Amino acid sequence: MKILLPPSEGKTPSSSGPTLDLDSLSAPELTTKRKRVLAALKKVSKRRDALEQLGVGASLTEDVERNTVLDEIPCAPALLTYSGVLYEAMGASVLVAQSEDDAQLRERLHDVHIFSALFGRVHGLDHIPAYRLAMKTDLGTLGKLTSYWKPILAKSCSLDPAEVALDCRSSDYRSVWPGPTDQVVTMGAVSVSSGKRRVVSHWAKFYRGEFAGRLLSADRALPDTVEDLVARAEEYYEVEFGAATKSKPANLMIVLRD
């Protein structure tokens, strides 16, 4: 089983650790492509109009300045570098700490794939720096990064025929590699109050992270079919399941009632 995650917009800079070594990251076939994006990002981040080019406000000036020295600053495992609702609900810091003495958990975290505008994708324990770059960004000569990465990841990403993937990504990151519709299960959340349904993006992030963390930390085998994944979700939540079609993957919807 694989778990597909989005990056967080905000990152946690590491105070210690190795500097960036692109050659040591998983999916080494992406190394050359990563170097191109890194070079372009550093160049854009040095411009006077860097904030505008990267689509961020003045409050993120320090983040953009950090982009210019990404290969000089300390790195940490990706699951510690990314932050926010999903990663907190997942218990990412606990999982990373426990994986130091748990070979099975370490292997599971290698199957957590985080999709990244800078790196294409990394696994949960790859060491990366805190950067500021969104997948929707147009990065000069490379163009929009969704268009840049899509054909590259189409060749790099795959699932074994008997494998299932829980897709916790947002649409920008899902678009660069949707995966096989019959093997991928997306996850969302909807609130139901007085008969009215409303999609809730904040809680969707929370429950995606919480469910991923429960799967990874469980002392039993991970689900290996869509049916097993749905059954596991039903142990924790009220869910609605939408089966896959030719054009769309299956969907698990967490139902939140008053």
**Could you read off the pLDDT of 50-85 as tens digits, one per residue?**
999 999 999 999 999 999 999 999 999 999 999 999
Helix (H, G, I), strand (E, B) or coil at 256: strand
**Could you read off the pLDDT of 131-140 as tens digits, one per residue?**
999 999 999 8
Question: Token pair for residue 73?
Answer: 């600053």
Question: Token pair for residue 254?
Answer: 């967490």
**Could you read off the pLDDT of 134-168 as tens digits, one per residue?**
999 999 889 999 999 999 999 999 999 989 999 99
- DSSP assignment letter at 7: P
User: What is the pTM (predicted TM-score) of this model?
Assistant: 0.96
Residue 221 neighbours by CB distance under 10 Å: 9
